[in-house]
Amino acid sequence: MSISLKTVPSENSRPRNTREKIIWAARRVFAEKGYSQTRIQDLLKAAGVSPGAFYNYFSNKEELFLEIVRETGDQFRGSIKHIRRSRIRIGTQEELYSALKESFRYFFEFVHRNRAGVRILFREQQNANPRIRETLNEIVFEIQQDLKKDIQRGIDMGLIAISDPEIAAWGIISAVSGVGLNYLGHPKIEQDRLVKALSELFLLGLFKRIPR
């Protein structure tokens, strides 16, 4: 299956069962209140379920929150990896450029369609709860490692001119995340504009020449 903007998952899709109903409502509540300020009663009210129904699926608030975090992170990482695999076939500079550019495009569409879930990821990365903090940092690290491998591949092929792929990947992830956070507050900015600017900013620094 190819990944396109039309297939970017959306948190606005209606839940199909009680478990999805709880998760769907919890995304909005956690995004609005934050993890620490959210009570079980808030989640029950938003989902319109009884305590019994809630505890049938989740043992506590933390378990539900971690499920949302992992689901959002896995969804995003899996789609980005698919884009890169489908775009990079022969291994030309044009393919690498296209894969990274489309990854940027997918990121902003993902943010646009999953605003509550993404806001949770950004907000809670410094959470005092060690399990939550470690899970979020692990997701970011895995995405960073995927990007590092792509950059290293470009270096090995003589297409990318960078001396430290790990730091380069950190820099790209940090900057794109920062732009994504600002995009949450300014959703009217055109995505094409964001993609073009980031592509020019980072890819000019990575590649020996920019594909036309």
DSSP string, 119-161: HHHHHGGG-SSHHHHHHHHHHHHHHHHHHHHHHHHHHHTT-B-
Domain carrying residue 198: 62-206
Q: Tell me if 167 is assigned to some domain.
A: yes
What gap in Å lies between CA 114 and CA 61, rounded to an integer? Answer: 21
pLDDT tens digits for the chain (212 residues)?
333 444 445 555 666 789 999 999 999 999 888 888 999 999 999 999 999 999 999 999 999 999 998 988 888 899 888 988 888 777 787 888 888 889 999 999 988 888 877 887 787 777 778 888 889 889 889 999 999 998 898 888 888 888 899 999 999 999 898 999 899 888 889 999 999 888 888 777 776 655 55
Q: Tell me if 9 is assigned to some domain.
A: no
DSSP conformation class of 207 = B
The count of structural domains within the chain is 1
Q: What is the CATH number of the domain that holds 180?
A: 1.10.357.10
- Number of residues in the chain: 212
